[in-house]
Structure 1
Amino acid sequence: MRSPTMMRHLLPIIFSCLAAFGASAWGQRALVAVPLVHNDEATQTIDTRIALQPRASGADPVAWERLYGSTQTRYLRFRFDQIAIPPDSDLELQVVSDPEDVMVWRLRGAELARATELTTDLLKPGRYRVRVIVTRLSSPASLRLAGMNFQAVSAALIPESAVMRSKPVASLVPAHPARGIARSVAMLHIGPLGSTCTAFLIGDAQMATNFHCLALSARYAQTRTNPKPDCGDIVAEFDFLATDQLGPSAACTGVVGADENRDLVILRIAPPPLAGGGQRAILKLAAAAAPDAAVRILHHPMGRPMVFEDHCELKGFDAGDLMHDCGTMSGSSGSLLLTDSGEVAAVHYKAPYELSTTEAEKERLYQLYGPLYNRAKPVALLISLPRSGDSR
C-alpha cells in the first residue's frame, strides 16, 4: 500500500488524469465523482540542461543564454526542473525580452536553491532570452530548462451544465455592478500542467477557491506537510476579459487556510493594482442565503475570458451543499455565487455532468434521479475555515 506521503506526491497526476478522461457523472443523490478543472495549455519540450561551473572574478557574468519564444499564443511560461543550486550562490535566472532587452522575470540564487522545479510568470507572446547571470559560484550548479508552456488563442466553450446563459463580462456596460466585482475575480493557472480554476478576493491579499484546485499544485504536493506549504506555482491572472488579452498577474505566496473535506482553501495572493490606479475591492461574504434565492455567477469557464450569468437560482440544500442551476464548465471550480446585493453566497465546486456524459446518459440519470444540479459550498464554511495552515 502506498504511504500517504507518496499519495500526496501523486495527487497532481491523479487529478490531471481524472480531469482529462473523467470517471462518472454526479448529482445531488447517490452519484459520486471527482470535480473537474480545466487544462488547455500545450507544452513544447526544450529539455536543455544548464551546467554552471565556478567562475573567476571578472569573468563575463552571463554564464548561459538562449533565445526562445512564440508569437501565436495568448501567453507563454518557461518551466525549469532538476534544480541543483548551492544555497550560497550569487546568481540570477532571468528572462529578458528580445530585442528590447527589458527584464520581464527574474529569480535570485537563494530562492532558486530552495526549489526543485518552477515555472515563470505568464509572459506576453514574443521572443525572449533566457539567461543565467553569475556573480559568485563556489561549486558546480545545474538546472534543466524542461519546456515552454503556452495557451493558444481560442474562444471554444464546451458546457458541462445543461444550458449556458452567460455573457462575456467585456460586453457589460461599464456601470454594470458585475464589472466592479469582476476586478476582484481571477483565473488561476496551476502547476506545471497549467490547469485553471477561478478565485476571488475575500481579504487583504487573500483569495478563495476550491481545495481540489490547490491539490493540482506540484509545489504544494511536495511541501504539504511543512508548517508553511508552498504554492508558488499558482499564478492568478486578473482582468482576463478577451481571448487575445493577457491580464496582470500575481503568484501565490502562501496557504492561509485549507480544508480538503470542505473543498475550500484561502491562498495568499497580493492582487496587482488596477490599470487606472487604486486597489481591487475585497468582496463581502453574505451571512446566509435563502435556499431558493436568485443568484449570479462570475467565472472563467474552460480557461476562457470571464463570463457572467444573472438568471440562475439556488435549488435547496443537500448534504450541506447548496444546489444551483448556473451554467458551469471545467475551470469554473472556485467560482463565486452572488446574491442580489452583490455579496458572495457560496463557492461552486461540482458540476452535474462530466464532459464525456452523453445526452442519452443524461436522460437516463434524469429518469432515475430527477433534475441534477451543480453543487456549491455555503460561504459560512469559508468564513469558519481554519486559518492555521493545512487542515483536514
Structure 2
Amino acid sequence: MGNRTRALVENSQVQQRQAAPGQIAVNAYDRARVMLGGGAFAGSKGNGGSAGGSLVVGVLANTLAAEWLGSEASNFARMDVTAASASRVLAGALGGAVSTGSDSGAGAGSLLTLVLANKIQSRVDAYKPNATSPALLSSLQGGALNLSAQSLSGASPLDGLFATAAEGTLLESGLDLGGGNTVSAIKVSGEVDKDLLNGKNGPGNLFEGQIAGEAVLAVAGSLGASGGKAGVGGSMALVYAGSEYTAQLANSNVDLSGDLTITARHSADVLAAAVSGAGSTEVGVSGSATALIGRGNVLAGVDMGDRTLKANNLRISAERSGGHYSLAGNITGSSGSTAVGGAVGISDMQQRVEAVLEKGRYELGGDLTLDAAQQSRIISAAL
C-alpha cells in the first residue's frame, strides 16, 4: 500500500481582516487499517507425507503531507499546518500438516513479513515551479503559528472523520480497527527487573494495552504432526518499522506577535509472535524466530537562512517513543529417538531524533526551547 494524502497551499495569498483576525488551518490526515491473513492445512492418512505452508507479505508506505509553499498569509490570529497519522496493521500466517501413517512424514511452515515505512511531513517553505526558476518565499505575518507532524495514539482523534460501518463487520470476531479490543487479552508476563515495570517487582504484564500512533501485531504459527517417521514445523515473523516524521520551517519571512511552535512526534509499537510445534513417533524437529527492525527519523527544525524571524516564544520539539515486544516459542515431541527444538528472537533499533535551529536571526519576546527526546523499550522472549 502506497497511498498519498496531501493538503497544500501553493503560490497563493490569504488575507484576513485586521479588525477580526481568524484561523488558518491546513490539515492532512491518514488513518490506515490493514488486516492480512494466510493459512494452509494438509493431511494424509496413508504412508505418504503431507506438507502445509503459509506466506504473508505486507507493505505500508503511505505519504502524508501538510504544506504551505511560496504563499502569503497576513492578519491571522492562529495558523496551523498539521499532518496527523494513525496506522494499524494486524497480520497472521498459519500452516499445518498432519499424517497418520506409520511410515509417513509431515512438515509445516509459515513466514510473515511486514514493512511499515510511512513518510509524514508538515512544512512551510518556498515554492519553485521548475529547476531554473527562482524560488518564491513564503511570508507569514500574524499571531501564532503551529507546525506539527505526529502520530496519534488510539483511534478517537480521527473517528469523527470516518464511517463506523467497518467496525461492525469485525464485532463478532472480537477484533477492531482501533486495536483496543484486539490487544486487550494479550498478556506478556514474566519475572523482570522492577525498573521495566515502573518500580513494581515482577511478575507483571509487560504490554499495557495502550495502542501507539503506529502499531503492528504480527503472529506466525505452524504445526507438523506425524504418526510415522518425522514431524517438522517452522515459523518466522519479520517486521521492519521505519517511518519518518518531519516538521520544518524554511525559506520564509516570518513576523509573528504570538508563539511559534514546531513539533514532530512519533510513537510506534510492534508486537510479534512466532510459535511452532512438531511431533512424531520417531523424529520431531521445530523452530521459530522473530526479527524486529526499527529505523526512521524524527526531525523538527527551523532554517531562516539570512533572514530575521520575529515571534514571542519559540518552541521546537522532536520526540519518539514506543517499543518492540516479541515472543518466539516452540514445542517439539517424539516418542522415539529424537526431538529437536529451537527459538530465536532478534530486535534491532537504530533511530534518530533531532530538534534543530540553524542560520538566520531570531528576535523573540519570550523564551526559546529546543527539546529532543527518545524513549524505547525492547522486550524479547525465546522459549
Q: Which has the higher strand share?
A: 2
* TM-score of the two chains, using structure 1 as the length reference: 0.22
Higher relative contact order (CA 8 A, sep 6+): 1
Which protein is bigger by CA-based radius of gyration?
Answer: 2
